[in-house]
């Protein structure tokens, strides 16, 4: 979806700017992987969840502002 594409651009930019941060992505197909959609309680496409270990640090639906995504990633990466 267009929103997901914008989110991907923001995530790619973050990874390029912060290679020291170990960022692992799990991309779930909202239409085909319903068991994961339920597991993560994603209400719709373009849901972003951020975990540090097993602790959820951020949950967002439809966020495309790179500065907000970067802010959340920086907060979760901080010691």
Provide the greatest CA pair distance for the chain: 36
Residue 61 CB contacts under 8 Å (≥ 6 apart), including other chains = 42, 43, 44, 46, 47, 48
- Is 78's pLDDT higher than 90? no
- Is 74's pLDDT higher than 90? yes
- Is 49's pLDDT higher than 90? yes
- Is 58's pLDDT higher than 90? yes
The phi and psi torsions of 62 (rounded to 5 degrees) equal 80, 10
The closest of 61, 53, 59, 46 to 9, measured between CA atoms, is 46
């Amino acid at each position: 979806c267009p929103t997901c594409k914008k989110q991907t651009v923001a995530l790619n930019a973050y990874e390029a700017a912060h290679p020291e941060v170990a960022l692992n992505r799990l991309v779930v197909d909202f239409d085909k992987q319903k068991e994961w959609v339920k597991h993560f309680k994603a209400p719709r496409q373009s849901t972003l969840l951020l975990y540090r270990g097993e602790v959820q640090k951020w949950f967002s639906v439809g966020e495309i502002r790179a500065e907000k995504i970067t802010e959340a990633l920086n907060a979760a990466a901080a010691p």
